[in-house]
């Protein structure tokens, strides 16, 4: 490519970022163009600068913390990428009792957590009644805290019952917004349409909804990623969680390679411009593929961290992917470590529920 053409191309790409910031979305081919250039460091620095400035408008230098409680690793599903899939007979299964969960919350509350994320596989043992009981007891004991559920697909009726019992938020990654790609990551009984319906139902019921996807999952194309961004723009979630795909040795995807750090960071930056006030975590998966991954996620536009509050005795059993970090540390150690990491890049952890506030309400 001639020098002049290079300059033109560069101007075009930078201009696309300006337009993404202004319009909060682009045409699919333009999204693809940007995504394909994620390894261009000048371009990514330009994006991250804008993303950081946008985060600062809404959150200053504050980073919200969510205490993650992985309360069951039983799962009736068989997603090809996931270490706790039903067919992984090597996974040692566990369930936390309600007392275990309340103990985690108590520890977490002392450490300054004001959001608890109850996450688990799709485990039929926890009937709606059981989940509702846990929710109302957590709310009763910690009335100043928000509760986020992350327990997969259930009926509208169940989601409504959970909301009534005290759930404020719900995380359900769409994983990929393309039907065909979805069917390459999941067995036939799991359908993208159901997942999308769940997300819109949760939104309708008044939940702060989180979605997201894995970066670099097997068979993923640049077009798939552009579709993920378009889907997120359409759903307008309150939270967006993305992280690199990391193979797990006892899954059908054991031989695939992990997602790229640069691409994950670039997408975090783009997402910050697409939904400027969204809560975007710098994920454990990001910290697993790079020692400074979580810090770099924040510097690319993320504003949330989700340290683990699960009892250390079960942590190694919630292995969604190989080499997951923080599986040997106590909650207090993680909190301390993260707080230092975040200070080292000029931010600070905050004791705050960190609710999502829609832009029109912010202006009002």
Query: Interface residues with ligand 5AD (CB under 6 A)?
Result: 81-82, 173, 175, 214, 243, 245-246, 248, 285, 320-321
Query: What angle, 0 to 180 degrees and rounded to 10, lies between the N-to-C axes of helices 3-23 and 41-59?
Result: 20
Number of residues that bind ligand FES (CB under 6 A): 7
Using CB under 6 A as the binding rule, the residues of this chain from 296 to 315 that contact ligand FES are 307
> Least separation, in Å, of the C-beta of 327 and ligand FES?
9
Give 129-154 as a DSSP string.
HHHHHHHHHHHHH-TT-EEEEE----
Task: Please report, in angstroms and rounded to a whole number, the separation of the first and last CA atoms in the chain.
Answer: 50
Please name which of 213, 262, 275 lies closest in space to residue 21, comparing C-alpha atoms: 275
**Choosing among ligand 5AD, ligand FES, none, which partner's interface includes residue 307 (Cβ < 5 to 8 Å by kind)?**
ligand FES
**Nearest CB to ligand FES, comparing residues 176 and 288:** 288
- 338 near ligand FES, judged by CB under 6 A: yes
Residue 151 interacts, among ligand 5AD, ligand FES, none and using kind-specific CB cut-offs from 5 to 8 Å, with none
334 binds, among ligand 5AD, ligand FES, none (CB under 5 to 8 A by kind): ligand FES
User: Helices (DSSP H) in 191-311: which residue ranges?
Assistant: 192-204, 222-235, 261-274, 284-289, 293-299
Our CB check for ligand FES shows the closer of 286 and 326 to be 326
Closest CB 239 distance from ligand FES, rounded Å: 20
The strand order across the sheet containing 67-72 reads 67-72, 115-120, 146-150, 169-171, 208-215, 239-244
Q: Which is nearer to ligand 5AD, 44 or 119 (CB)?
A: 119
69 interacts with ligand FES by CB under 6 A: no
User: Which residue's CB is nearer to ligand FES, number 205 or number 337?
Assistant: 337
Nearest alpha-carbon partner for 85 in 118, 117, 122: 122
Tokens of 57: 């408008």
CB count within 10 Å of CB 213 equals 25
The item of ligand 5AD, ligand FES, none sharing an interface with residue 338, based on CB under 5 to 8 Å by kind, is ligand FES
Q: How far is the CB of 258 from ligand 5AD (least distance, A)?
A: 8
Instruction: Give least dist CB 176 to ligand FES, A.
Output: 28
Decide if residue 343 touches ligand FES (CB under 6 A).
no
**DSSP string covering 36-102, please?**
HTTT-HHHHHHHHHHHHHHHHHHHTTEEEE-EEEEEE---S---TT-TT-TT-TTSPP-B--HHHHH
Question: What is d(CA 350, CA 58) in angstroms, rounded to the nearest whole number?
Answer: 14
C-alpha span between 346 and 329 (Å, rounded): 24
Query: How many CB atoms are located within 10 Å of the residue 186 CB?
Result: 21
Question: What does the alpha-carbon distance between residue 118 and residue 52 come to, in Å, rounded to a whole number?
Answer: 29
Dist. CA 342–CA 259, nearest whole Å: 24
- Name residue, tokens 């504050």: 62
State in angstroms the smallest separation of the CB of 40 from ligand 5AD. 25
Decide which of ligand 5AD, ligand FES, none touches 246; Cβ closer than 5 to 8 Å per partner kind. Answer: ligand 5AD
CB of 248 to ligand 5AD, least distance (A): 5
Give the range of 152-160, 223-231, 316-324, 329-337 binding ligand FES by CB under 6 A.
Answer: 329-337
Contact partner, 71, from ligand FES, ligand 5AD, none, Cβ < 5-8 Å per class? none
Is position 337 an interface residue for ligand FES (rule: CB under 6 A)?
Answer: yes
Asked if 205 and 168 touch (Cβ cutoff 8 Å), the reply is no
Interaction between residue 326 and ligand FES (CB under 6 A): yes
Residue 345 binds what, of ligand FES, ligand 5AD, none (CB under 5 to 8 Å, by partner type)?
A: none
320 binds, among ligand FES, ligand 5AD, none (CB under 5 to 8 A by kind): ligand 5AD
Longest CA–CA separation in the chain, Å = 67
Span near ligand FES by CB under 6 A; candidates 19-27, 75-83, 118-126, 328-336: 328-336
**Residues that bind ligand FES in the complex, under the rule CB under 6 A:** 307, 326, 329, 333-334, 337-338
């Amino acid at each position: 490519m001639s020098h002049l053409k290079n300059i033109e191309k560069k101007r075009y790409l930078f201009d696309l970022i300006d337009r993404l910031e202004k319009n909060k979305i682009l045409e699919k081919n333009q999204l693809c163009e940007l995504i394909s250039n994620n390894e261009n460091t000048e371009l990514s620095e330009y994006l991250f600068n804008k993303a950081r400035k946008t985060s600062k408008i809404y959150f200053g230098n504050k980073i919200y913390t969510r205490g993650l409680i992985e309360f069951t690793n039983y799962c009736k599903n068989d997603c090809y990428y996931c270490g706790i899939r039903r067919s992984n007979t090597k996974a040692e299964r566990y369930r936390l009792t309600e007392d275990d969960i309340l103990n985690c919350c108590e520890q977490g509350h002392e450490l300054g957590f004001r959001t608890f994320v109850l996450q688990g596989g799709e485990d039929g043992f926890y009937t709606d009644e059981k989940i509702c009981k846990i929710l109302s007891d957590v709310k009763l004991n910690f009335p100043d805290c928000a509760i986020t559920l992350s327990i997969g697909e259930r009926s509208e009726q169940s989601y409504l019952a959970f909301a009534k019992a005290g759930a404020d938020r719900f995380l359900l990654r769409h994983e990929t917004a393309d039907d065909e790609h979805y069917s390459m990551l999941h067995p036939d009984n799991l359908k993208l349409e159901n997942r999308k319906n769940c997300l819109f139902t949760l939104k309708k019921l008044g939940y702060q909804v989180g979605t997201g996807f894995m970066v670099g999952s097997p068979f993923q194309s640049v077009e798939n990623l552009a579709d993920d961004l378009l889907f997120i723009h359409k759903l307008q979630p309150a939270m967006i969680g993305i992280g690199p795909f990391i193979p797990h040795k006892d899954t059908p995807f054991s031989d695939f390679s992990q997602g790229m750090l640069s691409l994950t960071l670039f997408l975090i930056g783009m997402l910050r411009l697409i939904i400027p006030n969204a809560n975007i975590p710098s994920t454990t998966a990001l910290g697993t593929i790079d020692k400074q991954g979580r810090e770099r996620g924040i510097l690319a536009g993320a504003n949330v961290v989700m340290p683990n509050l699960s009892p250390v005795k079960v942590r190694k059993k919630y292995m969604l992917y190989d080499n997951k970090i923080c599986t040997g540390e106590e909650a207090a150690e993680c909190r301390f470590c993260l707080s230092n990491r975040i200070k080292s890049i000029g931010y600070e952890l905050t004791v705050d529920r960190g609710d999502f506030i829609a832009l029109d309400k912010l202006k009002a």
